[in-house]
Amino acid sequence: MSIIKTAAGLQDWLNASDRRNKTLGFVPTMGSLHEGHLSLVRQAREENDLVIVSVFVNPMQFAKGDDFKSYPRDIERDHQLAGAAGADVVFYPSAEEIYVPGCSTTVEVDGEISMKLCGESRPGHFRGVTTVVSILFNITGPDAAYFGQKDAQQALIIKKMVKDLHMPLKIKVCETVREKDGLAMSSRNVYLDPDERRAAAVLNSALEKAQDDLRSGRANCCDTECLRQLIEDEISKEPLADIDYVHVLDAETLEDMSAVMPERPAVAAVAVRIGKTRLIDNRILALK
């Protein structure tokens, strides 16, 4: 299993692999692979003849002051893990390979779906995501691409981009993989010291409590503001947690909604700083 660093090299590999007569699955990542990523690779392996994993820490989706420079990188480890999970090749381009000199073209999904949650906290972030994902789709040309539900908003925006622009591939969104205490797997978890790591479990426990309350039918449990407040209260009990946002919104469009309804699930999404580390998590809140 090889590492390929150029678009031309990848094209050669695709031609040599008889791609035209095969199905191709693609897992775009920023590397620092964990079980969440690997579950995507395994699903891509099950569903396709060929599997490409890309490792690219995309400068365009980080703002000044974000953790672009410190973002964990270990291509040798990623190479090994991706291969063991079933990848045929790791695409590991430089920034210059992805962004040609003088490039100035962007792909952007406008509207509420991009303005709320991380769109509000991280201006320009999703434009960076949709642009690089478009470029990676164009270079790899997959039949299906795999994303984690952990980045719920990202997955919704990419699905919308693909639909709006008629991109010829399927987007598969796979369940969040969690640590034993429920913490969603994230490359950023390595930033946490032991106390912070313990505290970080509050994101999941708060979201789970909201889900339990909804399912058990407690008073006002369908009211999204009530659910939101419950999650905020739960997280606030943790002294190391500093809330960036807690929202309960339409699970497909991220529009505001007043109550969870049988045919209209919500997504409860949170972003919380634990020490200096910003973590996100979410749960679908459905009545059925």
Contact residues for a second copy, defined by CB under 8 A: 7, 20-21, 98-100, 102-111, 113, 130-131, 134-135, 138-139, 141, 160-161, 163-168
Closest CA to 38 of 93, 77, 71, 64: 77
Let me know if 37 is a catalytic residue: yes
Residue (44 or 162) nearer to a second copy, CB: 162
In whole angstroms, how close is the CB of 107 to a second copy at the nearest point? 5
Closest CA to 51 of 69, 14, 12, 25: 25
Residue (112 or 232) nearer to a second copy, CB: 112
Instruction: Please identify which of the residues 34, 37, 79, 125 carries the catalytic annotation.
Output: 37
DSSP letter (8 states) at residue 281: E
Residue keyed to tokens 């679908």: 284
Q: 34 by DSSP, 3-state: which?
A: coil
Residue (63 or 111) nearer to a second copy, CB: 111
- How far is 69 from 286, CA to CA, in rounded Å? 39
In whole angstroms, how close is the CB of 125 to a second copy at the nearest point? 16
Residue (101 or 194) nearer to a second copy, CB: 101
Maximum distance among all Cα pairs of the chain, rounded to whole angstroms: 61
In whole angstroms, how close is the CB of 250 to a second copy at the nearest point? 12
Residue 74 CA, chain-centre distance (Å), reads 19
In whole angstroms, how close is the CB of 58 to a second copy at the nearest point? 14
Distance in angstroms between the alpha carbons of the first and the last residue of the chain: 43
In whole angstroms, how close is the CB of 44 to a second copy at the nearest point? 20
In whole angstroms, how close is the CB of 160 to a second copy at the nearest point? 7
Looking at the DSSP bridge assignments, the partners of residue 271 are 245, 280
Residue (106 or 220) nearer to a second copy, CB: 106
Residue keyed to tokens 């291969």: 83
Residue (131 or 187) nearer to a second copy, CB: 131
Quickly count: other Cβ atoms within 10 Å of residue 103's Cβ.
11
Residue keyed to tokens 């943790």: 238
Q: What is the dihedral of CA 225, 259, 256, 206, to 10 degrees?
A: 50
- CB–CB of 275/193 below 8 Å? yes
- CB–CB of 53/91 below 8 Å? yes
Which residues are identified as catalytic?
37
